């Protein structure tokens, strides 16, 4: 297992290098010039050229990339074009908020999806199955921005029971209960699409295991149905579920960009939108680097979990 993990980590290095290179090309070829955004309208063209030279934007594209790569290998992600702060500090300030939101969204999604998926499979073709399946399709189909605006209108505007934006109430001392109230709506919005997809996979995986001969044998031995489901069914249905769980991380990262913007959640998603609008190349590269590392590590976690839930899988 250790050797396999080391090999996988070594394989991810060229993948990560390729991802950063493609991101760099796409970001720098996007229309717009950061110097035009930050410069005073009265600034002369010579001053703009000097500013571009100071930022290194006049260098050939490959040279700019290798300069960024060299700094990145030393832990320096550069300085923001807009705020002039170190990009690493900007990301560190926002990363905790995004991890909190993603963790809460995953918790809500799996708390809903796994029990409903199991019940839907156990009660196949019942009214519960039809209701749960319809709910899962709606969860996958409704866009985050539409659902976010909907829950803001219902719970924030109409009922007035939950705050509609931010991480804390302005003018009030920060405490965990206030943060929790602000977290509910964005986490519910972000977790709904994850829950819808996960429920379908749980249902399908459990139904596939239900048709195996060893479950019929377990029932024939007189084991209670709850024990057949908990001890034999779920463990053998976990591998497809783990695969989808590893794929949920990229979905969460993408969904966080929209959700954090709607709810004014001060995390990486909101920073991404701000960096795109301001053509802040160093900030965008730092954000993409963190996202790429997170996705690669989540895929490695999923592979390692296979061997944990299924002893038949061996990594030599």
User: For 222-266, how does the pLDDT look when each residue is reduced to its tens digit (9 = 90+)?
Assistant: 878 777 777 777 777 777 777 777 778 888 888 888 999 999 898
Give pLDDT tens digits for 93-108: 999 999 999 999 999 9
Which residue, of 73, 104, 120, is where some domain finishes?
Answer: 73
Q: Is residue 255 part of a domain?
A: yes
In this predicted structure, what is the pLDDT of residue 242? Answer: 76
Per-residue pLDDT band for 288 (boundaries 50, 70, 90) equals very high
Q: How confident is the model at residue 186 (pLDDT cuts 50, 70, 90)?
A: very high
Structural domain contains residue 104: yes
91 with 68, same domain: the answer is: no
Residue 285 pLDDT > 90, yes or no?
A: yes
pLDDT in tens, 106-165: 999 989 988 898 888 888 888 998 999 899 888 888 888 899 999 999 998 999 898 988
Decide which of 73, 99, 118 is a domain's last residue.
73
Tokens describing residue 201: 């996979």
pLDDT at 41: 66
Q: What is the pLDDT of residue 21?
A: 93
Whether residue 101 is found in the same domain as residue 241 = yes
Q: Please check whether residues 135 and 278 belong to one and the same domain.
A: yes
Least confident segment among 121-130, 156-165, 172-181, 307-316: 307-316
Query: For residue 315, what pLDDT is reported?
Result: 63
Residue 47 lies in a domain: yes
- On whether both 17 and 148 belong to a single domain, the answer is no
For residues 29-38, average pLDDT: 76
pLDDT, mean of residues 78-104: 90
Same domain, 108 and 182: yes
Q: Is residue 314 part of a domain?
A: no
Number of separate domains in the chain: 2
Q: Is residue 292 part of a domain?
A: yes
The parent domain of residue 22 ranges over 2-73
| 316 within some domain | no
| Contact between residue 25 and residue 33 where contact means Cβ atoms under 8 Å apart | no
Percent of the chain residues past pLDDT 90, beyond the cut: 28
Burial of 306 (0-12, 13-18, 19+ CB in 10 A): middle
> Is 15 among the domain residues?
yes
* Shared-domain flag, residues 143 and 169: yes
139-170 in b/e burial notation, b at 16+ Cβ within 10 A?
bbebebeebbeebbeebbeeeeebbbeebeee
Do 180 and 101 belong to one domain? Answer: yes
Q: What is the pTM of this model?
A: 0.86
Note whether 142 and 291 are same-domain residues.
yes
Does residue 80 lie in a domain region? no
């Amino acid at each position: 297992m250790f050797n396999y993990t080391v090999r996988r980590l070594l394989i991810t290095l060229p993948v990560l290098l390729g991802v950063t290179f493609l991101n760099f090309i796409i970001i720098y070829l996007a229309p717009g010039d950061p110097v035009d955004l930050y410069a005073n309208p009265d600034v002369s063209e010579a001053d703009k050229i000097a500013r571009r030279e100071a930022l290194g934007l006049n260098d050939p594209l490959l040279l700019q990339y290798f300069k960024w790569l060299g700094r990145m290998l030393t832990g320096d992600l550069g300085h923001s074009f807009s705020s002039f702060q170190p990009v690493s500090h900007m990301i560190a300030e926002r990363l905790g908020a995004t991890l909190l939101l993603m963790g809460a969204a995953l918790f809500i999604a799996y708390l809903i999806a796994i029990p409903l998926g199991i019940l839907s499979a156990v009660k196949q073709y019942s009214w519960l199955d039809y209701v749960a399946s319809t709910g899962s399709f709606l969860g996958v189909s409704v866009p985050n921005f539409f659902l976010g605006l909907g829950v803001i209108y219902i719970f924030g505007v109409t009922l007035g029971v939950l705050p509609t934006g931010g991480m804390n109430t302005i003018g009030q001392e920060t405490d965990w209960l206030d943060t929790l109230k602000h977290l509910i709506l964005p986490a519910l919005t972000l977790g709904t699409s994850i829950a819808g997809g996960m429920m379908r996979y749980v249902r399908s995986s459990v139904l596939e295991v239900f048709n195996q001969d060893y479950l019929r044998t377990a029932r024939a031995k007189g084991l209670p149905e709850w024990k057949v489901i908990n001890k034999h069914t779920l463990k053998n249905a976990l591998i497809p579920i783990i695969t989808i769980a590893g794929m949920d991380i990229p979905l969460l990262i993408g969904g966080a960009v929209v959700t954090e913007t709607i709810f004014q959640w001060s995390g990486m998603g909101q920073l991404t939108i701000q960096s795109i609008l301001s053509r802040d190349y160093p900030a965008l590269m730092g954000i993409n680097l963190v996202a790429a590392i997170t996705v690669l590590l989540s895929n490695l976690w999923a592979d390692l979990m296979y061997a944990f839930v299924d002893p038949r899988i061996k990594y030599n």
